[in-house]
Every structure is written in C-alpha cells, then in structure tokens.
Chains A and B, each alone.
Chain A
C-alpha cells in the first residue's frame, strides 16, 4: 500500500504522452471524489480528495524529440513536485529506455511498448503492445490511451470513468469514441499482465 504514486511516461514527441499524463492528472484531480475546496491553508488540507501534480519536459519543437511527462498522485498534499524513482514507468521509445530504464526500484511497474523499444530492463516488466493495438483500432495516435488504460488497470489509481470525463474535457469530441476504445483495450491488456500496485485509495 502506498499513499503516493509516482508515474513517469516517456517516449518521443508526437506520441501524446503529455496528453495522456494530463488526462490522468485531470481525472485524479477533478473527478475522483468530492473534496473540500482548498482554502488558504494550502499545506494542511484534511479531506478526502486526491492531490495531483503533473509536470512535463520536452525538447525544442514537439515531434520526434524526447518527451517526458510525470504525474504524482497522493492522499497527502504534494510539496516537492518531481519524481525521483517512479512507481510506474512507461517506456515508449528506445531513447526513453536508455535514459530512464534503469531509474527504477524493485517495486516499479515497468510498461514497455515492444514496437518502439528494443531493449529490456533487468527486472520485471510488462509488454503492452500499445502502438500495434492502436493501429488495429485504426490510428496509432491513440497508443497513448492504450498505455493509459494499462496503467489504470494495474494501479486502480483512478476509475476509468474519471479518465473518460477528463478526456471529454480535453479531446476533440469526434475522437472520443476511438480514444475510449483504446483506453478499454489498454485496460484489458494491463489486467492480463498480472502486476499491480495497491494504493490507499485504489
């Protein structure tokens, strides 16, 4: 049981990993539970909602360069916003694998897209064929949502309905059906993986 979960999504620009992180963060932040409005006492909030910080880094330009997004979700207020060793690591490019593949702890769930990553980590990992699945669904652009579905299945960090609500806020309505489908496919892939992380609230 962890009271804070740190999720790192890494790959290359254009895969929509930052969008996936924003969907997850928004879902956890805005749709997970009724919570007391954060008043001035910013560091001492006692209530039932989740605290969320989403950060991102990217190179100049967007497509092709290295891209990394991080989401920190907690029952406690979050001060230091960055992730040191993630609880969940999603790798969607070889460069990301080289860079972040070893920044793990024994309990880290590592999710690898086998079509975009050649290397494999020493410890346990789970292959999620996100790109292939997205292509089968009709557009590889939804590989990010396949991955997000898998992460959700393995962590129960948010309810899939919360993700769908966040997706409705953030994505063009004509793409929702495809994105929902990708999310669900990913959820099933994640479930069949056999790994999980238990959070205080999951």
Chain B
C-alpha cells in the first residue's frame, strides 16, 4: 500500500494502524478517552468490509472480539481504565485459548472513575497481572501519534504470530493529541491456518510453542475451552497437563523476548540514564537533546520487559531515574536489573494526578538524587 502523510489524533492513528494490519472486526463500549477509536472505527471499518458493533459493556466487547477472532477475523477492542478492569476476565480467556486479538487501553487517571479525560499510566501492572492465574502478556506503549499507528500494527503482528492477546497502552494525552504522521507500509503478519481437516494430532511444544490456528467453520471441529486442556483441546484436571500448558503459554512469550521486545536508546554514553515510556519519554527527550550527560532508555514493549537490553544500557551508569505517571509500576523491574548491572543510584520520579511530567520536573528529580 502507498504511504501517506496525514494529520491525526492518537485514537485515529490507532484505527488507521489497525486497518493497515488487517483488522476487520471491532467491538467496543463508549468510555473516555478511548471513545474516539470506537467512533472512528464505525466510520472506517465498513469501508474495508469489516464489522463494528457497540456492545452492552466492556466484558461483552472483548468477548465479541475473541468470538470474531475464532471466526477468522483480525479483531480489536479499545477501552479506558474502568473498562480495562472489566476486560480482565476475558483477557485471561484469550491467553489460555491462545486467541489472537488486540486490546487498546487509553489509560486515564484512576482508581475507579478517577479523572475520565486525564492521562495516567496506572494500568501498567494491571496489563501485566490484572487477569488471574499464571500467565505472560505482551503490552506495548506508544509515546507519540506515529507510534500509535506503528505499534498498533506491531500489536496485531505479535498477536497473530504468537496467538496471544496484545495490549496497547495508550493514554488520555495521546488519545486526543494531534500530530502529523506517515501511514507507513509496514510488513503484516497473518496467523498460520491449521492444516485442512479435524484437529486430531498433538499440538503445542511439538510445534515450537505456537500451533497453527484452527478457524471455526472450516471443518477443523476444534474444541476451545478456558479450562485447562490437553494438546487436542479437551478439558483436563491433570497437574501434568496444566504444568505443560502453562509452561508453554508463558514460555512462548518470555522465551521470545528478543523477537518481541522493542526499545530505543538515546545518548548511550551519558552518565545519567532516564527510563521512561509513553508521554514521559517525550519529556525526557527534551533533556536528552539538550544535555549530553542524560540518556534515555525507552521501552516500546513494556511486557515482557526488555530486561537484557536494559541491562546493557544501564551498565556503567552513575544513576538511573525511572519516570512514570503512576506510583512506580516498572520501577522495581528496572531496579532489579539496574542493580544487577551494577548501578548504585536508582530512583523513581513519580507523577500522579492526571498530569504529565515536564522536563524541569525530571531535572528536579535528577538534582534531588545527586544532592543526596
């Protein structure tokens, strides 16, 4: 497809990315600040032959998305804070049933109803651990409108490749922000269809952790269940079966960090390293462009955390400052890896309250650290 330059809101860029990735089904429920995605989908998806439905809540929205995925569609939903809480139940269902789908959370400030139109990154840990049970998850965090487009495509690609739900963690600032972007012609990954005929032979570890997808209605006669299931999909109470299943489900993501994890490093030689994702990474860039002694490690993939890459970036640093619009969701993750990399000073620069951290606030955090 030809590349095109456009001026879009973050929410609109997510839609354009989804359409380029091949999304053909969308179900959602109105909630600030993600509503623009639903409204834009309603306009755009039918133009490419897709279907949109406004469901009765966020639980049913993600349920419909998973149903549509089994019907063969690339499918997506988007929500914000309270709706993301409601989606946790079926997010886990998508994990255990290995359903490719994309969930966008345009984060707002919580808990509960909180500040409906203001940004926050309070759902980072919820994306990781919000659904019950042992599992792995992929979550991506854009910091500008271009990345809203790029990472939505990436989210679809990863979900198709690894047969897993992928969470895109946008926020209230990005959702409504407008910037000029390029609708790039990026490579698109499509799920591998299960060979013709019924699902009868063993799947799973024998096939490298991710098995082809038996789309409904094509004679596979597959059984899909949220219960622990054997390699042919039948329910099982066996400890051995569950151990194998979880090991594979967790491993197919954790063991593929190298392929999954995207990040950026700026001013790699600087003595101070800021770790920031989403909007705060932009504030940090303001400093990085002005000061040679400040570098930035920006994970685009939050989960799984790009631990090896970070450790490389952290080695030899005088200090590491983690800037987050929450009370420190990736801080401990960063802290343990920075410790292992031998960094002595590791601090959190936390911004709560629905605002975004200004470059000056980060400088204050750095000064405070140096003053100690």
A and B are partners in one complex rather than unrelated chains: yes
- Tell me whether B117 and A58 are in contact (CB under 8 A): yes
In the complex, which residues of chain A have a beta carbon less than 8 angstroms from the beta carbon of B177?
Answer: 53-55, 81
- Most A C-beta atoms less than 10 A away, residue of B3, B5, B284: B5
- B282 is contacted by which of A25, A26, A57, A79 (Cβ under 8 Å)? A79
CB-CB contacts below 8 Å: B221-276 with A: 266
Q: How many chain-A residues does the 8 Å CB contact rule pick out?
A: 25
| Complex Cα gap A59–B285 (Å) | 30
Tell whether A60 is near chain B: CB-to-CB under 8 Å. yes
Compute how far the CA of A22 lies from the CA of B173 in the bound complex, rounded to whole angstroms: 15
Residues on B with beta carbons closer than 8 Å to the beta carbon of A22: 178
Contacting B283 at CB < 8 Å: which of A39, A52, A80? A80
A-B contacts, CB under 8 A, total: 70
Q: Hey, which chain A residues are within 8 Å of B356, CB to CB?
A: 81-82
Interface mask (B115-133 → A, CB under 8 Å = 1, otherwise 0): 0111000000000000000
Q: Which residue, A43, A52, A60, has most C-beta atoms of chain B within 10 A?
A: A43
The CA of A30 and the CA of B7, in the complex, are separated in Å by: 7
- Kindly state whether residue B77 has any CB partner on chain A within 8 Å: no
- Asked if A26 contacts B7 (CB within 8 A), the reply is yes
B358 cross-chain contacts in A, Cβ below 8 A: 80, 82, 84
**Contact assessment for A79 and B182 in the assembled complex, using a CB-CB cutoff below 8 Å:** no
Nearest chain B CB to A33's CB is how many angstroms away?
Answer: 12
Which residues between 19 and 60 of chain A lie within 8 Å of chain B, taking CB atoms? 22, 25-26, 29-30, 37-39, 42-43, 51-60
Q: Is the CB of B289 within 8 A of A43?
A: yes
Of all chain A residues, which has the CB nearest B32?
A: A60
Within 8 A of A (CB), among B1-33: 3, 5, 7, 32
**Interchain Cβ contacts under 8 Å between A and B, 20 examples:** A26-B178, A38-B180, A38-B181, A39-B182, A42-B144, A52-B7, A54-B177, A54-B179, A55-B173, A55-B177, A55-B178, A56-B176, A59-B117, A60-B117, A79-B286, A79-B359, A80-B358, A81-B173, A81-B279, A81-B282
By Cβ-Cβ distance, the 4 closest A-B pairs, closest first, are A54-B178, A79-B285, A79-B286, A29-B180
